Amino acid sequence: MTTTSEQLIQDLVERTRLNINEAEKFSNFSNEKLNHKIKYDSWSILECFEHLNLYGDFYIPELKSRIENSKSLPNVNFKSGIIGNYFAKMMLPKDKLNKMKTLKDKNPIGSQLDRTTIARFIRQQEEMLKLLDTSRHIDLNKTKTAISISKLIKLKLGDTFRFVIYHNERHMAQANKVLDSKNLKAA
Amino acid sequence: MNPILNFIEKIDQQNLWDKTLKLNRKGYLKVSGSVDTNLYFIVSGSLKIYVLDEFEENIIRFGYIDNFISSLDSFITEKPSDVYIQAIKRTELKVIKKPAFMSFVESSEENTKIWQLILMNLIVQQMERERDILTASPKERYKRVLARSPQLFQEIPNKYIASYLRMTPETLSRIKKS
């Protein structure tokens, strides 16, 4: 994937706006709805958010320190790396949501959750918007970041942003699926 | 006639709106870091424009029914802006894109004059706002805003007005009682 850096940032800011609006929508629902599970071992809406918060706890400080320490100059264009592009695209939700494995330390199941979980998510997205804006002053290609799923690989900053924000989108779709489930509509 | 409503009527007639947009309560029209050159007309509901300072919300301006709202910095410069625009309650907006709007403004001398009038009013309002912020006494700040926009106190919840007035909600309610 090749694009201008500005286009990529604007696209990611817009996706983040929509993710925040989804979060605001969910924060109006009852605790009962927010804690409902379709199956005993599937995630509730709040567990979807907590999963994203656990990701954010890793990525936001990582992105922040890489951006702050980057001495690169802005590059007009961004060219996605082969692995980075593969990981990012894998995260985008498909029409029929495919199941994916969750690493143990990112599995929220059984956590004690209430709507502050959603507030925490929104806080993280505000932080994400700030990071996206700051990244306008550096090179999204040359700046590299660690990722949570492998210690061996580093991705281009632009791809890591895509990975994290597409991943947020994936779990917004999952939370909407929980909301649309028959059980919940009847409840 | 209100110059804004004169514009709206003409834009309706010439069918220049790009689309209508609905926002849930607390839904965001714009977030920090985006470029947004659209102009929005508020059909119903209300919104706040604010910036975040260390997670604290500082309200710059409100928008309510029959008004235009936009991220004016981005509208003018076509560059990213750090303001957030968020619906306070369920809100419906009509959207016009900058190129369509500017060619509408330039299409007649009358339109150009009305647009100038709207911008001049805005400059005066901005100067009033600047003086609000420079006014040290919370009570005086409150009195200035109340005299200028009584409608604000009918449309907007207290906690947001307090942020706009740079005081706590408690201080605002104490001043209102006195």
CA–CA dist A158, A76 (Å, integer): 12
**Is the pLDDT score of A85 beyond 90?**
yes
Return the pLDDT at A184. Answer: 66
Could you give the CA distance from residue A19 to residue A176 in angstroms, rounded to a whole number? 12
Beta bridge partners of A78: A3
Would you call B77 an interface residue with chain A, using a CB distance cutoff of 8 Å? no
The encoded tokens of residue A185 equal 């509509």
Chain B residues within an 8 Å CB radius of A133: 32-33, 80, 82
Give the one of A27, A28, A126 whose C-beta lies nearest to B52's C-beta. Answer: A126
* pLDDT at residue A103 in the model: 76
Question: Does residue A186 have a pLDDT over 80?
Answer: no
What φ, ψ does residue B144 adopt, rounded to 5°?
A: -60, -50
Integer Cα distance of A136 and A47 in angstroms: 33
Binning pLDDT at 50, 70 and 90, where does residue B55 land?
confident
The partner residue sitting opposite A21, judged by closest CB among B28, B34, B80, is: B28
A74 — pLDDT class (breaks 50, 70, 90): very high
- Mean pLDDT of the A161-179 span: 96
pLDDT recorded at residue A108: 82
Inter-chain CB proximity A133 and B27 less than 8 Å:
no
Asked whether residue B45 carries a pLDDT value surpassing 90, the answer given is yes
- Token couple for A141: 């290609």
Average confidence (pLDDT) over A58-87? 97
pLDDT at A73 over 90: yes
Q: Which domain holds residue A170?
A: 2-186
What's the pLDDT band for B29 if we cut at 50, 70, 90?
A: very high
Which one has a higher pLDDT value, A129 or A42?
Answer: A129
B6 Cβ under 8 Å from any chain A Cβ? no
Residues of A in contact with B30 (CB under 8 A): 17
Q: What is the pLDDT of residue A40?
A: 84
Instruction: Report ipTM (2 d.p.).
Output: 0.89
Flag if A9 and B30 touch (Cβ within 8 Å). Answer: no
Flag the least confident range among A98-102, A131-135, A141-145, B92-96: A98-102
Q: What is the mean pLDDT of chain B?
A: 95
Report pTM: 0.92
Average pLDDT over residues A85-106: 84
With a cut of 90, say whether residue A84 has pLDDT above it: yes
For residue B149, how many other CB atoms are within 10 A of its CB? 16
Banded pLDDT at B11 (limits 50, 70, 90): very high
- pLDDT at residue B121, as a whole number: 92
pLDDT at A187 over 60: no
Which of B23, B25, B33 is closest, CB to CB, to A129? B33
A27's tokens: 């924060």
User: What CA–CA distance (Å, rounded) separates B174 from B176?
Assistant: 5
The answer on pLDDT for A127 being more than 80 is: yes
SS3 A40: coil
pLDDT digits (tens, 9 = 90+) for A26-48: 999 999 899 998 888 889 999 99
Q: What is the 3-state secondary structure (H, E, C) of B86-149?
A: EECCCEEEEEECHHHHHHHHHCCHHHHHHHHHHHHHHHHHHHHHHHHHHCCCHHHHHHHHHHHC
Pair type for strands B39-44 and B91-96: antiparallel
> Given A14, A24, A27, which is nearest B34 (Cβ)?
A14
d(CA A66, CA A64): 6
Instruction: Return the SS3 of A101.
Output: coil
Query: Is the model more confident about A94 or about A5?
Result: A5
The long-range contacts involving B96-103, CB below 8 angstroms and separated by at least 24 positions, are B96/B11, B96/B16, B96/B17, B96/B18, B96/B38, B96/B39, B96/B40, B96/B41, B97/B18, B97/B37, B97/B38, B98/B37, B98/B38, B98/B39, B100/B16, B100/B18, B101/B16, B101/B39
Which of residues B2 and A63 earns the better pLDDT score?
A63
What one-character DSSP code corresponds to residue A44? P
pLDDT the model gives residue B112: 96
A138: domain CATH number?
1.20.120.450
Top-level class of domain B3-106? mainly beta
Determine the number of helices (DSSP H) and then strands (DSSP E) in chain B.
8, 8
User: Which contiguous run of DSSP H or E holds residue A10?
Assistant: helix A5-26
**Which single residue is written with the structure tokens 């802006």?**
B81
List, for residues B119-143, the tens digit of each pLDDT value: 999 999 999 999 999 999 999 999 9
Per-residue model confidence as pLDDT tens digits over B81-102: 999 999 999 999 999 999 999 9
Count of structural domains within chain A: 1
